Amino acid sequence: MWVEWIVKGFILCLILLTGFAYLTLYERRALARIQVRVGPNRAGPQGLLQPIADAVKLIFKEELTPGKVYKVVFLLAPVLTVVPSLIIAAVIPLGTSFELFGREITLYVADINVGVLYLMSIASIAVYGIVLAGWSSNNKYAMLGGIRSSAQMISYELALGLSFVTAIILGNSMSLVDIVNGQKQLWYVVVQPVGALIFWIATLAEVNRAPFDMPEAEQELTAGYHAEYSGMKFALFFMAEYQKMIVICMILATLYLGGYLGPFVDKFPLLGPVYLFLKVIVLLFGMIWVRATWPRIRYDRLMAFGWKIMLPLALAIAFITATGILLADTFENPLYFWSIPVLSLISLFVAIAFIYRDLRRKSHGRV
């Protein structure tokens, strides 16, 4: 049994590391296409060897350690950032199971009955590496980047947790395998599209992706928390960000988009990872698209958006979902169940109206 866990864990790490390498190429080519310019196309056919060229460059690049850093913490911070981005994927089901050498092999490392709680706890750890990197650098810009990251995590973690709660209510379980199986008839994004949207926006903030990239704002902090890092230590931060992008897209697909479910999965279990891969590719393109088109949010507005819009909206969505399911089960009337997406969209439009009103007041100088 333990040999199977080790082998599956090793394969999962290889998948994430390879995904990180080629996600950088995917992002650079997609950004180039959106912004009408030429992306990487020199290293190998169609630029396919560009990630390898980048890896070789970072491996042989000189590493500098400033003289006045807190050295032990400075060296451990990149490791503390990259490890959670790998182990968080252990409970994400990539498919059902298949038989090999007379043994049933499940397409996930572990299925624990509190899988969602595991995801939330591991996701919260990753910010420590960023904060410690900023503090240990003994640099004011890096320290500001670390503080911004922790403040941003606190602001959006609550909305993210409530979007997890919404999926738990719909699936009536904290096991990710059970949540996926509960979507065989209907993906949860149909029932709760606003919950999926909240999850997606909150995770953009959690991984410091544009337009929530305030901890790294070049114009203000000259790279922020990793300003003093170079070579492979910088590469670990780079790796952690892109691996977290892949993992959060896998989590979103699992919670709201049916995970590995698709046509003929019951007959051909190995189609499960293919369907999950395609969903992740589409979600990653959405993140890249946002980076290419949206400007960075001013820091006070970013915090206000998290506390004044995202948190109340997430609370309303969780309440609407729980109430709708309770009434539908009590009175055995499907109209209560289908009132969930309707009331959720109304709540979203109310939140957009508040944002519009606030922007108009600020544009007229009344704030």
pLDDT tens, 173-229? 888 989 998 898 889 999 999 999 999 999 888 888 878 877 776 666 666 777 788
Average confidence (pLDDT) over 150-177: 88
- pLDDT value, residue 221: 66
Average confidence (pLDDT) over 158-162: 89
Residue 172: count other Cβ atoms within 10 Å of its Cβ. Answer: 10
Q: What is the rounded radius of gyration, in angstroms, for the C-alpha atoms of the chain?
A: 22
How far is 238 from 215, CA to CA, in rounded Å? 14
Average confidence (pLDDT) over 319-344: 85
What percent of the chain is modeled with pLDDT above 90? Answer: 16
- pLDDT value, residue 357: 78
User: Does the pLDDT value for residue 103 go beyond 80?
Assistant: no
Between the CA of residue 169 and those of 56, 160, 202, what are the distances in Å? 47, 14, 19
Average confidence (pLDDT) over 125-145: 82
Average confidence (pLDDT) over 30-44: 86
User: Of 294, 287, 347, nearest to 317 (Cα)?
Assistant: 347
Angle between helices 2-34 and 71-87 (to 10 degrees): 100
- pLDDT value, residue 219: 64
Question: Taking the model in full, what pTM does it have?
Answer: 0.90
Name the pLDDT band for 366 (thresholds 50, 70, 90). low
Angle at 296 between CA 53 and CA 24, to 5 degrees: 15
Name the pLDDT band for 284 (thresholds 50, 70, 90). very high
How far is 139 from 17, CA to CA, in rounded Å? 30
What percent of the chain is modeled with pLDDT above 70? Answer: 96
User: Does the pLDDT value for residue 66 go beyond 80?
Assistant: no
Average confidence (pLDDT) over 273-293: 91
Average confidence (pLDDT) over 300-326: 88
How far is 157 from 202, CA to CA, in rounded Å? 7
Please state, rounded to an integer, the average pLDDT across all residues of the chain: 84
Of residues 218 and 66, more confidence is placed in 66
- pLDDT value, residue 213: 79
Q: Which residues pair with 104 in a beta bridge?
A: 99
pLDDT in tens, 263-272: 888 888 888 8
pLDDT in tens, 164-180: 999 999 988 888 989 99
